[in-house]
């Protein structure tokens, strides 16, 4: 994890506390609505999630994937179809091609080895499995808040993240063989409590329509593509050619006479 959390503990745990603030609740609601939509057509046996367990409990209740595995440092007791596992995101105690979906809620924002985490996710996903990622967008007022008005704020969650742009994330996914299915821009209000006051809903509508790239948060869903292999049959099982390789020479038929 990033050095910004060295004094205060795991950054994803700190992010869970930040989600309880007024601005954090605003982001959590936007991400939950988005996640419910992204999971609507997902199914299977196992979904792995890194941290932020409480914030996405409602979205997971409607998910059709049977078993949920939450990985992190501060986990709630196992209950229902949820299992908690303590592990590093780039060293998962999971078999190769064993997971149907992976959820990374800002995990890569606070990880120094983000590309390594993605490689591990690619390893454990089954072919055609999906990964859903949430990021804070540095190309927004949320990115500017890291520097103004108090530069010291960039040492705190959520401003101390890696500042990954949508374009860089897309490049990483392509290099690992993922196909990006969707990218949703969220949270168009600036990260200020007064921006959440009644009468500011127009910021969401206008932002989504006129400046979508400047959303404070973006979500990406990508699918793991595996190149199809062409299996050649053994020579003795090869079907006969449709046409002969060479034309047959006509044969003369002799007719005997008495």
For 156-202, the pLDDT digits (tens) are: 788 888 889 999 999 999 999 999 999 999 999 988 888 887 877 88
Query: Residues 119, 91: contact at Cβ < 8 Å?
Result: no
pLDDT at 258: 47
Q: What is the SS3 assignment for 13? A: helix
Measured distance CA(236)–CA(85) in Å, rounded: 51
Q: pLDDT 10s per residue in the chain (258 long)?
A: 554 543 456 787 888 889 999 999 999 999 999 999 999 988 899 999 987 777 888 888 788 888 888 887 655 555 567 788 888 888 888 999 999 999 999 999 988 889 999 999 999 999 999 999 999 999 888 887 776 656 556 677 888 888 899 999 999 999 999 999 999 999 999 888 888 878 778 888 888 888 888 899 999 999 999 876 655 555 555 554 545 555 455 555 555 554
Measured distance CA(132)–CA(222) in Å, rounded: 7
Q: Which residues contact 201 (CB under 8 A, 6 or more apart)?
A: none
Query: Residues 186, 137: contact at Cβ < 8 Å?
Result: no
Q: Which domains does the chain have, with CATH numbers?
A: 3-227 (3.40.50.150)
For residue 186, count CB atoms less than 10 angstroms from its CB and return exposed for 0-12, middle for 13-18, buried for 19 or more.
buried
> What pTM did the predictor assign?
0.81
Sign (positive or negative) of CA dihedral 173, 157, 206, 214: negative
């Amino acid at each position: 994890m990033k050095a910004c959390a060295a004094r205060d503990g795991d950054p994803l745990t700190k992010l869970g506390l930040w989600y309880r603030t007024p601005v954090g609740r605003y982001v959590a609601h936007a991400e939950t609505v988005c996640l419910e939509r992204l999971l609507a057509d997902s199914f299977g046996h196992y979904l792995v999630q890194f941290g932020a367990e409480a914030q996405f409990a409602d979205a997971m209740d409607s998910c059709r994937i049977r078993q949920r595995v939450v990985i992190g440092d501060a986990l709630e007791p196992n209950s229902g179809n949820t299992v908690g596992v303590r592990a590093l995101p780039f060293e998962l105690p999971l078999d190769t091609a064993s997971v149907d979906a992976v959820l990374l809620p800002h995990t890569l924002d606070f990880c120094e080895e983000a590309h390594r985490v993605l490689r591990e996710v690619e390893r454990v996903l089954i072919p055609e499995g999906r990964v859903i990622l949430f990021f804070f967008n540095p190309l927004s007022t949320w990115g500017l808040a890291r520097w103004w008005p108090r530069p010291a704020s960039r040492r705190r969650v959520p401003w101390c993240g890696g500042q990954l742009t949508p374009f860089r994330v897309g490049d990483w996914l392509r290099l690992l063989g993922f196909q990006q299915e969707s990218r949703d821009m969220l949270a168009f209000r600036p990260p200020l409590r007064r921006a959440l006051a009644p009468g500011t809903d127009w910021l969401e509508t206008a932002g989504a329509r006129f400046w979508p790239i400047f959303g404070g948060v973006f979500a990406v869903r990508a699918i793991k593509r595996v190149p199809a292999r062409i299996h050649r049959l053994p020579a003795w099982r090869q079907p006969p050619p449709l046409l002969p390789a060479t034309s047959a020479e006509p044969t003369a038929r002799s007719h005997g006479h008495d």
